[in-house]
Amino acid sequence: MKRIFTIAMSGLAVAAVSILMSCGNRAQIETCKIIEIEDAEVEFDRGDIDIERGEVEMVCGDKIVDVTWGQFRSKLRIDPGRYKKNLAGFKRQVSCIRDERSRRKQVLCKASDDFVALDFSYDD
């Protein structure tokens, strides 16, 4: 009887440690704030040419990220260029979140019912 009790207590201890460890790895979701819709641009610097596509700039937690217009067009069927002069309208159409603990360079955005993963780059 004492042996069964010891085995049961050991099993409970292992289960408790497993649960506590898994709780530490939960997603930490941050709401992203859309701050600007940027046009495509070309920058010439001595010996360097930098070409950027049109991007939506947003702040997710403590990171500033850029998502290309093409990501919004192809995956959400919404064109940020149409909202260039109407940022508030774009914010009403699109919402984004990001898992701060994820190593993937993706935000989850939705324009209707379902969230879709959009790739981003860090703002430079």
Residue type, 12: L
Element (DSSP H or E) covering residue 43: strand 41-45
**pTM value?**
0.70
Rounded Cα–Cα distance for residues 100 and 91 (Å): 21
What is the strand order of the sheet 55-60 is part of?
Answer: 116-119, 106-110, 95-99, 29-38, 55-60, 63-68, 121-122
**Which residue ranges make up each domain of the chain?**
28-122
pLDDT by residue, tens only, the chain of 124 residues: 555 644 544 444 444 444 444 555 566 889 999 999 998 777 777 777 766 689 999 999 888 999 999 999 999 999 999 999 999 999 999 999 998 888 889 999 999 888 999 999 987 6
Three-state DSSP class for residue 15: helix
